[in-house]
Amino acid sequence: MPSFDPRALIIDPVLSHSTYLAGSSGFDALSVIAVDSSDDAFVTDLTNSGDFPTWKPRQGKPRSAKASLGGVVTAEQKLSDLEAGPVRKYSLLTATLIIAICSSALFAQSVPAKQPKLILLVVIDQFRYDYLLRFRDQYTGGLSRLLNEGAVFDNAHLEHYPTVTAIGHATALTGATPALSGIVGNDWYDRESHKRILSISDETVKVLGGNGDGASPHRLLVSTLGDEIKMAHLGNAHVVGVSLKDRSAILPAGRMADAAYWYDAATGNFVSSTYYFADLPEWVKQFDARRPSDDFAGYEWLTGMAPSQSKHLPATPGRDLYSAVFGSPAGNELLEAFVEQAIAAESLGRHDATDVLTVSFSSNDVVGHSFGPDAPEVRDISIRTDRLLARLFDYLDRLLGLQNVLVMLTADHGVSPLPEKLAEWKMPGGRMTGGDLFNPMRAALEAKFGKGEWILDTAGTSPYLNLDLIRAKGFEEAEVRRIAAKAVATEPHVWRVYTRDQLLLGQVPHDPISDRVIRSFNAKRSGDLEILLEPYWIRSARGTTHGTPYSYDSHIPLIFMGPRIRPGHYFQNVALNDAAPTLATILGVETPSGSVGRVLYEILRDQ
């Protein structure tokens, strides 16, 4: 049979031996192939299909629709009575074949593809990409499954600065840079309120279930994937964020999320805020009432891998235990148990539209800060995280079928090796303090412009100058910034200094590092200077940290697994910003409003 356009096929739900013809026009829905009791096939009504014969009464004879698309067939006109070049006689077998082919094409291309029931975002806080390689021989659970069955990007990077928790989590499902999202750090100095604020602090709401200040996503200036799903399917999708850290639960879930839950290390409870509801859901109250944090009293870890360095949590319940839970693999175990309860209680994956669950494992970050990426503690918690992911995947498989879940795994940042370890390896690096940077700056400003509180606050290596003082003394802001930058640029191990004026005008060296800084500069929220240290130099008196634009902080895992995903390893450079538009494309919803990434089409299967 000649080929035809199958894009508009619609199966008739009533006639057992019929199907609609294809075409690009809305009125093709009326065009039917029907079979009568004599096994004759008919074309009825209208069709724009160019490969079926049609009848135009005003032309006075049968004709082929190939000559001119479209035509009219009188009701119950036999196909065998029509001319299309040589006379075609359609038997029941042939008509049935037509119907079968049409029906097959219908299911393959006209009916919308079955969407995932659930998008599961998994963020492992401070999980360097190379942890996938270093510990691969020990992974037998969820990470192993993702590496074997997922689309693995081996060169995914964060294209922003600083590489910190709040920005990484905000980027994951917005695709936005800090310049657009407004999340320029874990905290920053707010010039309107004249105080330091957190990325999720909100004085208009209160914590439910524990202690702490109110928190919400109200400082996030763009939409997330979950927001876009909810706007497209009002009332038919559910979005929930869960983490031990408040910002890690709140930011990826977005402004329209149904709930975000995080851990209160003072009480051992999971908590939320009145931004989401007036009272904590009953299932959360019941979870907290069972005191699951207390079950980790005396918890041991690192016993098998490095017995001489084994760790023990406090033996009695209380604040010390709850804080220790946060900073050990026990925190991840507690989180996974809570996540299972959230999936069931919130009916995730059981709504009319695709639901979103964001889960961030925070304990890896605390362990990494304390011991560094080369310590056995990091290896231990990474392997335990692999096992926990297997547990979570098995639970979802039993509840929803894992084939109905689209999993995305990533990290919010990496981490630098310990300076002491770098020294052993004869590598550069070392420790600095904030005073090493900002004291010379203060001295230079006072020498040039006189006494005064020239620096109001700092966020990371970025100072916020006292603009009111500058204006009161009649100085030019740009000149004050230039003097401050010149003073700090001469300090040991300072690699580069950008002023606000240079970033606004694009007057910076044209390289990938500058690009990351420019993408992250928000004129209303960022500081007056951005100071970059040489690689491996950190501002930390002990342990290690992150925040630089260098690869040890920017190189992260990025893995997708599930419906529409083509497994394999992909070696091209990609950005975390690419995740949100890719997932939006799969789901057929609008790309999040601040997204600057591209669709990772190379991993997508055809519908």
pLDDT band for position 40 (cuts 50, 70, 90):
low
**394-408 mean pLDDT:** 98
Check whether 581 has a pLDDT greater than 60: yes
Question: Identity (one letter) of the amino acid at 309?
Answer: Q
* CA distances in angstroms from 295 to 29, 129, 300, 596, listed in the order given: 63, 32, 12, 45
Output the pLDDT for position 491. Answer: 97
Output the pLDDT for position 103. Answer: 41
Output the pLDDT for position 38. Answer: 52
Share of the chain above pLDDT 90, in %: 79
Check whether 131 has a pLDDT greater than 80: yes
- In this prediction the pTM is 0.82
Closest residue by Cα to residue 400 from 358, 338, 345, 343: 343
Question: Beta partners for 239?
Answer: 356
Contact 605, 565 (CB under 8 A): yes
Instruction: Tally the residues of the chain.
Output: 607
Check whether 373 has a pLDDT greater than 60: yes
Contact 392, 339 (CB under 8 A): yes
User: Which residues belong to the active site?
Assistant: 165
Contact 53, 64 (CB under 8 A): yes
Across the chain, what does the average pLDDT equal? 86
Domains of the chain in sequence order? 18-110 (no CATH), 118-423+546-603 (3.40.720.10), 433-492+494-533 (3.30.1360.150)
Longest dimension (CA), the chain: 105
Of 67-81, 105-119, 137-151, least confident by mean pLDDT is 67-81
**449-456 mean pLDDT:** 98
In angstroms, rounded to a whole number, what is the distance separating the alpha carbons of residues 20 and 594? 42
In angstroms, rounded to a whole number, what is the distance separating the alpha carbons of residues 462 and 500? 10
User: Could you write out the DSSP letters of every residue in 32-82?
Assistant: EEEE-TTS-EEEEEEE--TTS-EEEGGGTEEE-TTSSS-EEEEEEEEGGGS
Contact 555, 130 (CB under 8 A): yes
pLDDT digits (tens, 9 = 90+) for 314-329: 999 999 999 999 999 9
pLDDT digits (tens, 9 = 90+) for 526-556: 999 999 999 999 999 999 999 999 999 999 9
